[in-house]
């Protein structure tokens, strides 16, 4: 039965490979998106942009708020949603 099932589902192997690759890419993208070190570096970039006059205080506050929300959202997910 295992051999028969393997032969019948063999045409689905490329699809399973693509699904697996998509899952791996999603995990890596989320890890990078929610990386606290990366978020801290982005905060520093914002501070540098404000100091050099490339960004207004209002724009900086909005960007920083987005980063804080991203960090807290990930912590809530990692903590089980509560």
For helices 36-52 and 57-78, what crossing angle results, to 10°? Answer: 170
The whole-number pLDDT of residue 82 equals 47
Looking at residue 54, the DSSP 8-state letter turns out to be S
Q: Give pLDDT tens digits along the chain (82 positions).
A: 588 787 788 888 888 889 999 999 999 998 898 899 999 999 999 999 999 999 999 999 999 999 999 989 888 887 765 4
Q: Is the sign of the CA dihedral 58, 64, 67, 73 positive or negative?
A: negative
The whole-number pLDDT of residue 80 equals 61
SS3 for 55? Answer: coil
Q: Is the sign of the CA dihedral 53, 36, 66, 23 positive or negative?
A: positive
């Amino acid at each position: 039965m295992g051999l028969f099932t393997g032969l019948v589902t063999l045409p689905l192997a490329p699809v399973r490979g693509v699904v697996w690759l998509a899952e791996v890419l999603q995990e890596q993208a989320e890890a990078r998106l929610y990386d606290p070190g990366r978020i801290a570096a982005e905060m520093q970039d914002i501070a540098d942009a404000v100091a050099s006059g490339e960004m207004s205080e209002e724009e900086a506050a909005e960007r920083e708020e987005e980063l804080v929300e991203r960090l807290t959202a990930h912590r809530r997910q990692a903590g089980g949603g509560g």
